[in-house]
Each structure stands twice: as structure tokens, then as C-alpha cells.
Structure 1
Amino acid sequence: MSDDLPSILFVCVHNAGRSQMAAGFAATLGAGQVRVLSAGSEPADRINPIAVEAMAEAGIDIAGTQPRVLAVDDVRASDVVITMGCGDACPIFPGKRYEDWEITDPAGLPIDEVRPIRDDIEQRVTALLSGLVG
């Protein structure tokens, strides 16, 4: 991928559900036209298996991803930073676009309650990408 591609960083607390789903959608729907990162302010040991299942139903495999800690360099390298429930943990740099998405944390929820969260994330990512890639 080229370094001149727009870059999106998705951040949530555990980097095990919402941010991983958003990154999965952005990477798939962005089709190589955007760089995608995800991280957490307090990363979990593993990705939420129900999030993996919900994304598999949408045809996107996030099973191989691993939660990782938010790094200042990730924020610095990103054009757009999307936070989901942990905006105060994210460093602020001038010239970056920041959005805080209020999305329910899927942790501990059954698949029937995670599907609408997944669909909400897909709609938000689609709208975000429409403004970044042509």
C-alpha cells in the first residue's frame, strides 16, 4: 500500500469488539484505498468470539486479529481517529480528524444483540469511507 493513502485508526477500550469490527469493515470496504489500524486503551487478551462470529456472518474474517495497545505513533500516523467509548484516552494532535462513535460494547452480549451493533458499525464505516476514498 502507498503511504499517501488516507489512514483510519479505530480505538475502543479493549480492542476486542467494536474497533475490530470497524477495522474489518474498513479494510474490506476500503478495498486497498485506505490504511486501517485498530487499538485499545486497555486491550483484552483476545478478540471477542461473538464479534468474530457476527463478522463471519457478514463475510469478513477477523478471527486472526489480536487486540493491541494504543500507541501515540498510531494516532500521529492517522488522518482520521475514531474512538468508541475511550476518547479521553486518545492523544490529540492538530490537523487530525477525530470522531467519537457512541456504540454499545458487544462484550458479554449474545449474537442476536451483536448483529445490530455490527450493522450500525458497517453503516458508519461506509459513510466514513465515502468521504475518504473515491
Structure 2
Amino acid sequence: MGGGGGGFGGGADFSDIFGDVFGDIFGGGRGRQRASRGADLRYNMDLTLEEAVRGVTKEIRIPTLEECDVCHGSGAKSGSKPQTCPTCHGAGQVQMRQGFFAVQQTCPHCQGRGTLIKTRAINATVTVA
């Protein structure tokens, strides 16, 4: 278990931050798309004082997303397909220009997925009292 970095966690990459803000000023826009970073996971674990002082290895279970049998991970209803987002044209990112500066941000229409789903697959179990 590694120690914290003085309160700065999450693995911020300063080249990414400066690239997002200043990357397009001199035509240095990004040439390739990369997946958006997922949300951080937080896990509370009880430790004894001895475990905290000496260190310990414990097993934890991390929830993972499994592919749905109905939509196969797309979220679309069986028989329908996701459509390319008309706002970002499938890129998942939009560029906002303000004078000399250009900032790239997640598409607000598709939330960075690059696709829109007209009919979502929803499975629900309702119990009768």
C-alpha cells in the first residue's frame, strides 16, 4: 500500500493539463483519441493499529462492469444501434474557442461516448407484496 502524495492524488499528468489548455495555440492539437479516465474508486477498510504500523495485505473485491446479454455493452435495446452524436461527430470531445485560446472538453450532448442511444435496454425486476 503506497503512501499518499501530500494530499495530491488521482495521478494528474501536467502534460495533459497544459496540452488541453495550450495544445492548439500553435497547431499542436492532439492527433489521436484516447479513452476518458474513469472515476476514482474509494474503499473503506478497517485496520488494527498493528496492521497500520507494520503494513498488511488484504483482499478486496472491486465491482466491474460486465457486458449485458441484451445490449452487449452498448446500452441500446436489442435490434437497435447507437447513433453517432451530431454534436461531436463521434469524437466524444468538442472544442470551445475563445479568441486566441481553444479548450477541448467532453461533449455535453453524449457525455463523451461519441454515440447516442434512442431506445435504451432496461431490465427491471418488480416484486409483488
TM-score by length of 2: 0.18
Higher relative contact order (CA 8 A, sep 6+): 1
Larger Rg: 2
Higher helix residue share: 1
TM-score by length of 1: 0.18
